[in-house]
Amino acid sequence: MEATSSADSTPSIEELQRSDRPFVLVDHAGLVLAINQAFQEAYGWEEKDLLDQPLSMILPEAFQMSHHLGFSRFQATEFSTILAHPLRLKTACRDGSVCVSEHYIVAEKYGDNWLFGATLTPLPEGTQPDA
């Protein structure tokens, strides 16, 4: 089935997945389908911790509710302000710490369901998240 990208000029999920940056793949329900080795090394999470778990697990608590509602709104409206451009967001690490990473998220639709892929690049300590 041919995928429909969220934006034609943006890289595909597959392209993101091929990069050496930390990568996470999420299904339409917001459950983690896959993470790469770079992700595990960068944030301490292992596949057994995250696979089939809500993506909100790698988000700080204060962002989780907003993530669920925003994720749901995209499902309902297919309109998002966070896709296909770099975002500096906080990410929760396996050890409970929080760091700022550059997220680049793309969405592709397969049939009735969306698939989300994102690369996360940890930023130096002290970097402020996006305004």
Tell whether residue 51 is a contact of other proteins (CB under 8 A): no
Binder to other proteins among 3, 34, 84, 87 (CB under 8 A)? Answer: 87
What are 51's strand-pairing partners?
32
Tell whether residue 66 is a contact of other proteins (CB under 8 A): yes
Q: CA-to-CA distance for 100 and 26, rounded, in angstroms?
A: 20
Q: Please report which residue ranges of the chain form alpha helices under DSSP H.
A: 13-18, 37-43, 47-50, 61-77
Binder to other proteins among 23, 74, 104, 116 (CB under 8 A)? Answer: 74
Shortest CA distance to 121 belongs to which of 102, 104, 105, 106?
102
Tell whether residue 57 is a contact of other proteins (CB under 8 A): no
For other proteins, the binding residues (CB under 8 A) are: 28-30, 60, 62-66, 68-77, 87, 89-90, 129-131
